[in-house]
Structure 1
Amino acid sequence: MRERLMAVVCLMGMAPVASGHTLDIYLSQKTAQFNFITDSSAIGFGGADLFFGLFFNEDSDYMLTTGMNVRGVPAGEQPLTFGVGGKLYLGFVDEPDQTFQSLGLGGEVRYTIPANTPMFFALEGYYAPPITSLSNGDGLWDLAVRYELEVTPGAAGFIGYRRVEVDLDKQEDYRLDDRFHFGIRINF
């Protein structure tokens, strides 16, 4: 428990170094995810979202993530938004005692529901093949879907489902997350 608290404090400590921040937190009965998202201009490259994440579950599995995602709206006035990017995963699996590092490529699709209250559906996915997976990892899938509703201009609530599956040397198709969750997104 102390390690979890220290990791969250370190993640929160990164907030003052960048501008245009978002904190995205989700919880389920057995998992938790904390994401800090900022503009990539913090590292001298603007126009993309730079993110850092911490995931853990009740099985004492931990996963750190970082990556960049570029979003854009297609020509015309369409309610769709597309994004592409990469994500680096560093995982620590308790049983079996193994670690993995994976570089995944993927993106997201968002559909904004035309209404007075801003809301949308989002589908996000990343895949890391065996060639970009190191240590005990032989590949990774990270898939998520969510429905988000803006409560105030700076805060939103969401419900969703996420499945994170990694192939390990000692166990194929090890699921770190396979649950429905709820969460909040705060912009500051």
Structure 2
Amino acid sequence: MSLTLLKRTFIVVSLGILSLQAKAGDYDGHMGLDVSLSNDAANFGLYSLRESAQEITNLGVDYFFNRPGDKFLDVFGSISRKGMADSENLELGISGKLFYADDNASPNTGYGAMLGFNGRYWLPTEMPMAIGFDGLYAPPITSFGDVKSASQGDVRLEARILPSAIAYVGYRKLSVEFKQHTQNMDDSLNIGVNVAFE
């Protein structure tokens, strides 16, 4: 599959998912923008979130790049259940990504599918605050091109600073194993904001 065709496929699938998700009427929902920055990396995302009394569904697209020039593009989806383990504050769920990875230091590129888990625990504070985490892995069986495997882990402390905005401080580890070497695309603290469009 050519790089141009792959990029076009990502764009079409992403826009289709976001438009379908935004039109679903059984849930309260919104679309939004998520931006996180560190000294050497940035991530920009668009998402569509639906929420009911029992669950949260989130679909979207992310574009990550770093100072050396590595790129990681993905279409993601997650579903979480509220009130897990008899705790109203705990959300746990599963997540997945279709991704394209480009190592700037070599001609290595590839794509694949990641599966994993996500969670959030709302702290009993006056200002709404939560600890969130995500973990995803693409084994060799779902990795193609020059990619042998990939993994991503995120931990963050979130604070709802406005009804439509969440600010957070987090740590992200993004690693892609190519045929000749492993590229750590990100391994750093970051700050970010998640803004909902009403």
Q: Using the alignment, how far apart are the partners of 2:87 and 2:70 within structure 1?
A: 43
The residue correspondences of 1:26-37 to structure 2 (distance < 5 A) are 26-37=36-47
**2:191 maps to what in 1?**
182
Where 2:141 maps in the other structure, the secondary structure is helix
Gaps of 5+ in 1: 1-9, 41-46
Alignment of 1:93-172 (within 5 A): 93-171=103-181
Once the two structures are superposed, residues 7-58 of structure 1 have per-residue CA deviations (whole angstroms, 9 ceiling, x without a partner) of xxx8xx95x9463112110000100001111047xxxxxx621110000001
2:88 and 2:133 map into 1 onto residues whose CA distance is 17
Which of 63, 68, 93 does residue 59 from structure 1 map onto? Answer: 68
* Corresponding letter in the other structure for 1:63: F
2:92 pairs with 1:68: no
Deviation per CA, 1:151-173: give whole Å up to 9, x if none: 010011110000011110121x3
Is the contact made by 1:96 and 1:170 (CA closer than 8 Å) also made in structure 2? no
The share of aligned pairs that are identical, in percent, is: 28
Q: Matched residues in 2 for 1:140 and 1:167: separation?
A: 6
Aligned residue type for 1:177: D
Amino acid at match of 1:163: K
Cα distance in structure 2, aligned partners of 1:32 and 1:162: 11
> 3-state SS of the aligned residue for 1:131?
helix
For 1:75 and 1:168, the matched residues in 2 are separated by 39
Distance across 1 between alignment mates of 2:166 and 2:73: 24
TM-score normalised to the size of structure 1?
0.84
Gaps of 5+ in 2: 1-10, 23-29, 51-55
- Paired letter, 1:156: I
Q: CA RMSD in A?
A: 2.3
Task: Count how many residue pairs are aligned between Structure 1 and Structure 2.
Answer: 172
More divergent stretch after superposition (127-136 vs 65-74): 65-74
Q: Which residue of 1 aligns with 2:6?
A: none
